[in-house]
Amino acid sequence: MLSIDGLYTAIVTPFKNGELDKTTFLRLLDLQREAGVDGVVVCGSTGEAATTSNEEKVQLWSWAVEHMNGTVPIIAGTGSNDTRASIELTRKAESCGVQGALVVTPYYNKPSLAGQLAHFKAIADSTSLPVVMYNVPGRTATNMSAETQLEIAEACKNVVATKEASANLEQIGQIIRNAPSHFRVIAGDDVLALPIIALGGKGVIAVISNYAPRTFGRLVHAALAGDYATARTLQEKLVPYYTANFIESNPGPVKYILSLLGMCDATYRLPLVPPTTLTQAKLEKVMSSFVDA
């Protein structure tokens, strides 16, 4: 069973002429591997999963698994607000050879706590993959309480972690304090990776590491090693970049930053569009002296 620790990058999905850009995608994967990340999430929110078809998701997972060839774990974003669809997609991801599945809380239909439990149990029961829950109330309009997440973890031994993006440190602390031995908390907000690790979290699934995998990786691993002096110094350095990544909806800014670095075109799937001229100017300013080291 995969142990979710350290820095996992929620990688962007590059497009060219409206289609998947395989060449750039593989180059981005190489950059992550060379930087020493602990894993990569393919088809998460940062990967514009909401506007990629199931066939495209399977293609991206297959490319990633084949290209990484076991050197870096691949977690597939397979969640939706339709339990049956999530089960089908998780099974397809498993057949591609990924090492885990990231499953978001059902959005829009806002299930009850009992519905959340039933949703995750049905998906976990349908696969042998380790499953990571993804609690992100800002996108789903539903918060999974600490009690619900812990109940799911107790009921489903292959639900191995939660990506917690509620920004509620009290709730996160409760989960960490009461988690079963097979279950861990992973930060879902880059800026909160350090405090969540200090509480006992085990890592982060991050946006910033698309272009700062070395710097942010040093922060994460310093914190995990208890070297909080180093982690705090790096945190101070990265604060402007955390802010920049969310001036507009993710992945608008991070894709534009990647384009500034010559790593990826700033091409999006509607309804996402390129950042405004004002945002572009802000991003250009903040990136003018950036070095990932």
Cα dihedral across residues 26, 28, 29, 30: positive or negative = positive
Q: Is residue 243 a contact partner of residue 227, using CB atoms and an 8 Å limit?
A: no
Tens-place pLDDT, residues 52-71: 999 999 999 999 999 999 99
285 is catalytic: no
Domains of the chain, CATH where assigned: 6-238 (3.20.20.70)
Q: Catalytic one among 8, 57, 92, 134?
A: 134
163 is catalytic: yes
Residue 256 identity (one-letter amino acid): Y
Supply the pTM of this predicted model: 0.97
Q: Catalytic one among 57, 92, 163, 255?
A: 163
Tens-place pLDDT, residues 179-203: 999 999 999 999 999 999 999 999 9
pLDDT in tens, the chain (293 residues): 688 999 999 999 999 999 999 999 999 999 999 999 999 999 999 999 999 999 999 999 999 999 999 999 999 999 999 999 999 999 999 999 999 999 999 999 999 999 999 999 999 999 999 999 999 999 999 999 999 999 999 999 999 999 999 999 999 999 999 999 999 999 999 999 999 999 999 999 999 999 999 999 999 999 999 999 999 999 999 999 999 999 999 999 999 999 999 999 999 999 999 999 999 999 999 999 999 99
The pLDDT score that the predictor gives to residue 247 is: 97
Tell me the C-alpha distance between 189 and 97, whole Å. Answer: 27
Tell me the C-alpha distance between 168 and 152, whole Å. Answer: 19
Tens-place pLDDT, residues 238-256: 999 999 999 999 999 999 9
Bridge partners of 100, per DSSP, are 75
The pLDDT score that the predictor gives to residue 82 is: 98
Say if residue 251 is preceded by a cis peptide, omega within 30 of 0.
yes
